[in-house]
Structure 1
Amino acid sequence: MRRIEAGALDLAAFIRPGDRVLCGQVSAEPQTLAAALPAALGAAGPFETFLGTVTSTSFDAAPAEMRFAGYGAMGRASRLARRRQLDVWPLHYGALEAGFASGRIRADVVLLQLAAGPGGLCATLANDYVLAAARQARCVIAEVSSRAPWCVGAEIAPGLRVDALVETEREPVSSPATAAGEVERAIAGHVAALVPDGATIQIGIGAIPDAILDGFADHRELGIHSGVFGDRMAELIAGGVFTDARKTVDRGQAVANVVVGSRRAFDMLDRNDAIRLRPAAHTHAHSVLARQERMTAINAAIEVDLSGQINAETADGAPVGGAGGMCDFIRGARASQGGRAIVALRATDRTGKVSRIVPRVATVTVARTDADTIVTEYGIAELAHRSDAERARALIAIAAPQHREMLERSLCEGDTR
Structure 2
Amino acid sequence: MFNNKIISAQEALKKIKSNDTIVTGLGGSEAKELLTNLHSIASEVENVTVTTCLPTVNADYFMNDKYKNSFRMDGWFYTGGMRKVHKNGNISYIPNHLHLAAVRRLDYIKPNVYIGNATPPDGHGFVSLSLGNVYEKRMIEAADLVILEINNKLPRTFGDVELHVNDIDYMIEVDYDVPEIPDAQPNEKDLKIGAYIAEYINDGDCIQLGIGGIPNAVTASLMNKKDLGVHTEMITTGMMKLAKAGVITGKQKNFNKGKMVAAFALGTKELYDFMDNNPSIMIMDGNWVNDPYIVGQNHNQVSINTTIEIDLTGQCASESIGSRQFSGTGGQVDTAIGAQRSQNGRAFIALYSTTKIKDKDTGERVEISKIVPQLKAGAAVTLSRNDVDYVVTEYGVVNLRGTSIRDRVNKLISIAHPKFREELYKEALKTGLI
Q: State TM-score, norm by structure 1.
A: 0.94
Report what 2:184 is aligned to.
Answer: 178
1:143-198 C-alpha deviation (Å, 9 max, x unpaired): 01110110111433448622221111111111121111111111111111111111
The CA deviation at 1:67 is 1.5
Aligned match for 2:84, one of 71, 75, 79: 79
Aligned match for 1:377, one of 394, 406, 418: 394
Q: Which deviates more, 50-59 or 223-232?
A: 50-59
Residues in 2 aligned to 1:333 and 1:323: alpha-carbon distance in whole angstroms: 16
Whether 2:374 is the aligned partner of 1:360: answer yes
Q: For residues 93-104 of structure 1, what are the structure 2 equivalents within 5 Å?
A: 93-99=98-104, 103-104=107-108
Match of 1:219, as an amino acid? Answer: K
Report what 1:266 is aligned to.
Answer: 272
| Structure 1 pair 245–76 and aligned structure 2 pair: CA distance change class (3 A) | farther
Q: Which deviates more, 159-168 or 104-113?
A: 159-168
- Indicate if the aligned counterparts of 2:36 and 2:57 stay in contact, CA closer than 8 A: no
| Structure 1 pair 124–316 and aligned structure 2 pair: CA distance change class (3 A) | same
Report what 1:18 is aligned to.
Answer: 19
Whether 2:7 is the aligned partner of 1:4: answer yes
Residues in 2 aligned to 1:55 and 1:394: alpha-carbon distance in whole angstroms: 39
The CA deviation at 1:85 is 3.2
Aligned match for 1:411, one of 414, 425, 428: 428
- 3-state DSSP of counterpart to 1:135: helix
Residues in 1 aligned to 2:11 and 2:334: alpha-carbon distance in whole angstroms: 39
For the aligned residue pairs, the C-alpha RMSD in angstroms reads 2.0
| Structure 1 pair 355–189 and aligned structure 2 pair: CA distance change class (3 A) | same
The CA deviation at 1:76 is 4.0
Q: For residues 207-226 of structure 1, what are the structure 2 equivalents within 5 Å?
A: 207-226=213-232
Aligned length: 414
Residues in 2 aligned to 1:277 and 1:184: alpha-carbon distance in whole angstroms: 29
The CA deviation at 1:136 is 0.9
Report what 1:167 is aligned to.
Answer: 173
Aligned match for 1:238, one of 230, 237, 244: 244
| Structure 1 pair 183–352 and aligned structure 2 pair: CA distance change class (3 A) | farther
Q: For residues 7-406 of structure 1, what are the structure 2 equivalents within 5 Å?
A: 8-11=10-13, 13-58=14-59, 62-64=63-65, 65=68, 66-74=71-79, 76-81=81-86, 83-99=88-104, 103-116=107-120, 117-119=122-124, 120-158=126-164, 161-350=167-356, 353-361=367-375, 362-406=379-423
Match of 2:191, as an amino acid? Answer: R
Residues in 2 aligned to 1:348 and 1:55: alpha-carbon distance in whole angstroms: 29
1:277-307 C-alpha deviation (Å, 9 max, x unpaired): 0111321122221210000111111111100
- Indicate if the aligned counterparts of 2:193 and 2:393 stay in contact, CA closer than 8 A: yes
- 3-state DSSP of counterpart to 1:266: helix
- 3-state DSSP of counterpart to 1:4: coil
Give the unaligned 5+ runs of structure 2.
357-364
Match of 2:7, as an amino acid? Answer: I
Residues in 1 aligned to 2:183 and 2:427: alpha-carbon distance in whole angstroms: 38
The CA deviation at 1:140 is 1.1
Residues in 1 aligned to 2:343 and 2:192: alpha-carbon distance in whole angstroms: 28
- 3-state DSSP of counterpart to 1:354: strand
Residues in 2 aligned to 1:103 and 1:40: alpha-carbon distance in whole angstroms: 29
- Indicate if the aligned counterparts of 1:308 and 1:368 stay in contact, CA closer than 8 A: yes
- Indicate if the aligned counterparts of 1:110 and 1:139 stay in contact, CA closer than 8 A: yes
- Indicate if the aligned counterparts of 1:327 and 1:366 stay in contact, CA closer than 8 A: yes
Residues in 2 aligned to 1:236 and 1:25: alpha-carbon distance in whole angstroms: 24
| Structure 1 pair 107–299 and aligned structure 2 pair: CA distance change class (3 A) | same
Match of 2:83, as an amino acid? Answer: S
Residues in 2 aligned to 1:43 and 1:416: alpha-carbon distance in whole angstroms: 58
Residues in 2 aligned to 1:316 and 1:368: alpha-carbon distance in whole angstroms: 17
- Indicate if the aligned counterparts of 1:93 and 1:324 stay in contact, CA closer than 8 A: yes
Residues in 2 aligned to 1:59 and 1:356: alpha-carbon distance in whole angstroms: 35
- 3-state DSSP of counterpart to 2:119: strand
- Indicate if the aligned counterparts of 2:193 and 2:394 stay in contact, CA closer than 8 A: yes
Q: Which deviates more, 191-200 or 352-361?
A: 352-361
The CA deviation at 1:105 is 3.5
The CA deviation at 1:318 is 1.0
